[in-house]
Chain A
Amino acid sequence: MSRVDRSGPPTAGPTPRVALPRVERTRASSGMRVAATTSDATPELLFELALPSGRVREPLGREGLASLTSLMLQEGTRQRSTVEFIDALDFLGAHLAVHSDDDETTLELRVLERHAERALELVGDLLLEPRLGEHEFARVREQRRASLRSRADDPKSVVHDVWSRLYWGRSTALGSAGIGDEESLAATTLDDVRRFHAAAVAQPRAWRCAGVCRGGLEQLLAWLAPLEARLAQAAPAAEPALRETWSEPSPLERKRSRLYVCDRPGAPQSELRVGHPSVASSHPDWLALSALNLALGGVFSSRLNLNLRENKGYTYGIRSSFDGGRRPGAFSVATSVDTRNSAPALREIVRELEGFTAGATPEELAFVRSSLEQALARQFESPQARLAFVSTIERLGLRDDYPLQRLAWLADATPAASAHVLSEHLRPGELLVVVVGDLTAVGRELAELGLGSPVKVDARGDERRG
């Protein structure tokens, strides 16, 4: 005889309560902001230091400068060559990476606590005494040329680049591929790199640090003391601050969608990206939108994925997001579909967006509420997850209890309330649609979708003449 009832889902006991990680923060004597939380999972320090030198501060004509600078920062210091510097990190078993995004250039360090002091000394060297040498620059530029040459090999890069160009336009570096192009690379000098880095280093008040270790903020500040001492001795700022170049996303013509196609003859799948400008993370509706998106395309069991994957079999997966960010991020849907189903897939996407403007169903709201509420129990276990929590709050200027804020909105949310938010922020009649695929195979059907006649663009997103 069976000892269990298999006929339906078992009932669960009460949801375990967890406290959100407590974020401690201060301004160090140099002026940099430091935020931290604790983690007992491992005897490690996870640390990030973000400089205000993201792509948005690249001068026009020098697109790719932020990521080029990130590469050059990993090419040795005054005392150590590239190889000697990496060997020193490896000896400590430390991971150090430098990368840039729209807003920041970020140094990420992960190291066992017993080596934290020495690893942070290396971080200080990289930051304050980078080599930035001619010889290294010539090599890094050559490597960048190879990356530019092979950029268009990957349709996922192409759809990203085309989308960025059409979304932001040409008047900001955000409208270019993150690594720039041949012209901007040719125009960029080592002096540009030095100035770009020096300008960011000159204003520690605009730096942002986040860290996770067993001892929390107090321990982190103790480890940072030598860096603070070096900053106090550093010469006063000479470089003027970097200017941001961004403007609002390119306005699409109201009440009309636009369809752009980048041709890839013979491609077995089409890359699709569909969306429109939306709100920054500071917008009062963003948390609600990020929650409602779960039901639209944020998880496997969402409308888009259940329809296009589990019902139609057009794709291996499809997701949507309200990107948020410091400035108006996009709402967009992204997927790869088999070539012959490109037009039907777009039709289904538009149909799902139209349907969702009417609001989420009571079942969907219950699903989202339950999912987000119960997930809190497992979301802050690893040190990496705890760092991401602190970092997200600091980067986007969210409240320390933003997950609870979102739950509070959901607690009262009705289908009508969701329809109110969605009808304002989801605009299926004003879509930017990018297709990277075999135009000969799909062109005629795309033209019949009612999204406007397809405009041909190249792999950078520029309209092709003729």
Chain B
Amino acid sequence: MQRPELREHVLPNGLRVLLHPARSAPVVSLQLCYHVGSARELPGKTGFAHLFEHLLFQGSEHVASDGHFRLITQAGGTLNGNTSFDRTHYFETLPSNQLELALWLESDRMGFLLGGLDQRKLDNQRDVVRNEKRQNYELRPYAKAHEVLAAALFPPEHPYAHLPIGTHEDLISATLDDVRAFFERWYRPDNATLVLGGDFEPDHALERVAAWFGELAPGGNFTRPAPQPHRALVEQRRTVEDKVQLPQVTLAWPTPELGHADETALTLLSMVLSATRASVLDRALTIDELLAKSISCGAWHGELAGRFQITATAASGVELARLEARIRELLANLASGGVSAAMLERMHNRAEAEFIQRLDNVSSRASALALSDVLRGAPLGFWSEYESLREQTPARLDAVLRRYLIEQPPTVVSVVPAGASAA
């Protein structure tokens, strides 16, 4: 597989413009990633970056309030946005003749948002976001644990100690002045990366991007935040009640930030533990012993810090304490016995196949370039990670297992059936 073709430019106002020409389909995908997420929210303003993302779909000075969705859908395109700890990402993919429409819409909300803003839009999207929180974090079984885990895993002052969705209380208190201030501070060309992928002529596309975005004023005071890795010193334990039948336990450890030398080894370790039913934890807990109904494992890396996490739902009649003890024992056994070369080879092969799949269309490639540029400071950083897969040896995986999961105490969050937490 070949590296995506890429041209990098910076407009005089600081907007980074990446062009990824690809003729595989007559489409153009525009990705605009702003370097602000929930990690940059101020105390008492949680959920604000995400609420703000919603307001960016409510029109701007020259675009009607329903314009984004209506015009892009009508032009045969798809669009959306999302907010994480570190960044807010907007994107649309359209037939290639609609490049100007995408540029008009994105440049208008970068430069002229406030002209279209009013209290009614804020109140409406606040209600929508509070319903999003109810649907995804309150009604969904076990999802209440996410908030508790974030707060327990990182110290209170750490930017990752609260989730992007925020609290109802803070969402209720958000004002139009907050929105204006947030916009003025963060939504600037020199705090964003724009990627165009697809079927276009690069010189012409660059000229058009410059025409639409070149006149927007820079903020001028942006620096990359320094990593804030955290190391746990004592075990933290929390219990959450939920309307569930089977209890669930999550063990989590803070890990280093995106781009750290241990990133790829941690990702592969999570696969060795739980990528398929034959992985170490799945095999032991759902095939050999039947202690768990389900198990999952993930290595996540943000620009400030990372998180390694194992979540297991108990099988019927299995005590959570027993399940947790067995997971810790399996980790200890793996650390002493070591990851086998055959197992790692299988995960290498699997990771490579998944990487090729993930990049099988223009918008996925453009998205990967945008996120990598903003979070790693290098658009092809994700590609380097792929190329480093084969450099990871069993000894490297053993080392990160010991360093982060064995020699560091876990944060343990239990979700128990309502009324059972006293037990």
A-facing residues in B264-291 (Cβ within 8 Å): 275-278, 283, 286-287, 290
Task: Give the interface segment out of B6-14, B298-306, B319-327, B355-363.
Answer: B355-363
Given A145-B316, A367-B70, are A6 and B96 also a contact pair (CB < 8 Å)?
A: no
**A315 within 8 Å of B by Cβ?**
yes
Find residues 315-373 in chain B having any chain A CB closer than 8 Å to their own CB: 315-316, 345-347, 349-354, 356-357, 360-362
How far apart are A368's CB and chain B's nearest CB, in angstroms? 9
| Residues of A close to B108: CB separation below 8 A | 6
Provide the bound-state CA to CA distance between A336 and B125, in Å: 16
Name A41's contact: one of B107, B245, B360 (CB within 8 Å).
B360
- Known contacts being A313-B128, A367-B70, is A150 close to B287, with CB within 8 Å? no
User: Is the pair B24, A381 in contact by a Cβ cutoff of 8 Å?
Assistant: yes
Q: Which residues does chain B contribute within 8 Å of A374, judged by CB atoms? A: 74-77, 94-95, 98
Query: Which residue of B has the minimal Cβ distance to A2?
Result: B215
A268 & B138 in contact (Cβ 8 Å cutoff): yes
B132 and A83: CB pair below 8 A? no
Q: A380 near B25 (CB under 8 angstroms)?
A: yes
Tell me the B116-151 residues at the A interface (CB within 8 Å). Answer: 123-132, 134-136, 138-141
Known A-B contacts A12-B97, A300-B73, A371-B76; A316 and B128 likewise in contact (beta carbons under 8 Å):
yes
Instruction: Verify B290–A377 contact, CB threshold 8 A.
Output: no
Specify which chain B residues have a CB less than 8 angstroms from the CB of A372 in the assembled complex: 76
Q: Chain B contacts of A267 at CB under 8 A?
A: 139
Query: Residue B246 at the A interface, CB < 8 A?
Result: yes
Chain A: CB-nearest residue to B62: A6
When each residue 62-82 of chain B gets 1 if its CB lies under 8 Å from chain A and 0 otherwise, what string results? 100111011101111110000
B156 within 8 A of A: no
Cβ of A13 to closest chain B Cβ, rounded Å? 4
B59 → chain A, closest Cβ, in Å?
Answer: 11
A42 near B244 with CB under 8 A, answer no
Residues of A within 8 A of B103 (CB): 10
CB of B345 within 8 A of CB of A91, answer yes
- Flag whether A404 is at the interface (Cβ < 8 A): no
B131 in contact with A313 (CB, 8 Å): yes
A309-B128 CB under 8 A given contacts A10-B100, A16-B26, A150-B246 = yes
Mask for B190-222, Cβ within 8 A of A = 1, else 0?
A: 000000000100000000000110110000000
| Least Cβ–Cβ distance between A436 and chain B, in angstroms | 10
Select B134's contact among A44, A152, A338, A375, beta carbons within 8 Å: A338
* A377→B76 contact, CB < 8 A: yes
Shortest distance in angstroms between A228's beta carbon and chain B's nearest beta carbon? 26
> Which residue of A90, A269, A373 is within 8 Å of B346 (Cβ)?
A90
How many angstroms between the C-alpha atoms of A41 and B101 in the bound complex?
Answer: 27
Knowing A150-B244, A153-B244, say if A313 contacts B69 (CB, 8 Å).
no
* A383-421, CB < 8 A from B: 383-384
Beta-carbon contact of B74 and A86 below 8 Å = no
How many residues belonging to A are interface residues under a CB distance threshold of 8 Å? Answer: 82
Assess A373 versus B76: contact at CB under 8 Å? Given A90-B349, A300-B69.
yes
- The verdict on A147 contacting B293 (CB below 8 Å), with A154-B141, A268-B138 known, is yes
Cβ contact within 8 Å between A12 and B98: yes
**A6-B112, A146-B293, A377-B26 given as contacts; is B245 within 8 A of A153 (CB)?**
yes
Contact A83 B315 (CB under 8 A): no
List of A residues within 8 angstroms of B283 by Cβ? 83
Which residues of chain B have C-beta atoms less than 8 A from A367's C-beta?
70, 73-74
B93 interfacial contact with A, CB 8 Å: yes
Closest chain-A Cβ to B373's Cβ sits at a distance in Å of 23
Within 8 A of A (CB), among B38-72: 61-62, 65-67, 69-71
Q: Are B360 and A371 in contact (CB under 8 A)?
A: no
B214 partner residues in chain A, CB cutoff 8 A: 3
Interface string of B240-265 (1 = CB under 8 A from A): 00011110000000000000000000
B27 at the interface (CB under 8 A from A): yes
Report how many residues on chain B are interfacial, defined by Cβ distance under 8 Å: 83
> Per a CB cutoff under 8 Å, which of A145, A306, A375, A384 touches B66?
A306
Within the assembled complex, what's the spacing in Å between the Cα atoms of A11 and B96?
A: 13
A74 to B76, CA, bound (A): 40
How long is the Cα–Cα vector from A87 to B282 in the complex, in angstroms?
A: 13
A255 within 8 A of B: no
**Contact indicator A44/B69 (Cβ below 8 Å):** no
Tell yes or no: B104 within 8 A of A by CB. Answer: yes
Residues of B within 8 A of A12 (CB): 75, 97-98, 100-101
Known: A15-B97, A93-B349, A336-B131. A143 touches B25 (CB 8 A): no
**Contact indicator A82/B98 (Cβ below 8 Å):** no
Contact with B along A300-316 (1 / 0, CB 8 A): 11000010011111111
Task: List the B side residues contacting A336 at CB < 8 Å.
Answer: 131, 134-135, 139
Within the assembled complex, what's the spacing in Å between the Cα atoms of A373 and B362? 20
A176 to B352, CA, bound (A): 40
- Is the C-beta of A370 less than 8 angstroms from some C-beta in chain B? yes
Known A112-B353, A139-B287, A378-B27; contact A90-B104, beta-carbon cutoff 8 A: no
Which B residues are in CB contact (< 8 Å) with A90? 275-276, 278, 346-347, 349-350
Q: A110 an interface residue at 8 Å Cβ cutoff?
A: yes
Q: Does A92 contact B (CB under 8 A)?
A: yes
Q: Produce 1/0 per residue, B217-249, CB < 8 A to A.
A: 000000000000000000000000001111000
Do residues A9 and B246 form an inter-chain contact, with CB atoms below 8 A? no
For residue A311, which residue of chain B has the nearest CB?
B124
Chain B residue at minimum C-beta to C-beta distance from A306 = B66
* Chain B residues within an 8 Å CB radius of A155: 139
Asked if B27 contacts A381 (CB within 8 A), the reply is: yes
In the assembled complex, the CB of B138 is this many whole angstroms from the nearest CB of chain A, namely 5
Task: List chain A positions with a Cβ less than 8 A from chain B.
Answer: 2-4, 6-16, 18, 40-44, 74, 82-83, 86-87, 89-95, 110-112, 139, 142-143, 145-147, 149-150, 152-155, 264, 266-269, 299-301, 306, 309-316, 336-338, 367, 370-378, 380-384
Could you name 20 residue pairs across A and B whose Cβ atoms are closer than 8 Å?
A2-B215, A9-B67, A42-B357, A83-B278, A86-B278, A142-B316, A150-B141, A150-B244, A300-B69, A300-B73, A310-B66, A312-B127, A313-B126, A316-B128, A316-B132, A336-B139, A374-B77, A377-B26, A378-B27, A381-B361
> Given A150-B293, A376-B76, 13 other A-B contacts at CB below 8 A?
A3-B214, A15-B95, A86-B276, A89-B276, A93-B353, A112-B353, A146-B316, A149-B245, A338-B130, A374-B75, A378-B78, A378-B94, A381-B24
> Which 7 A-B pairs give the minimum distances between C-beta atoms?
A374-B76, A313-B127, A93-B353, A16-B26, A377-B95, A10-B100, A86-B278
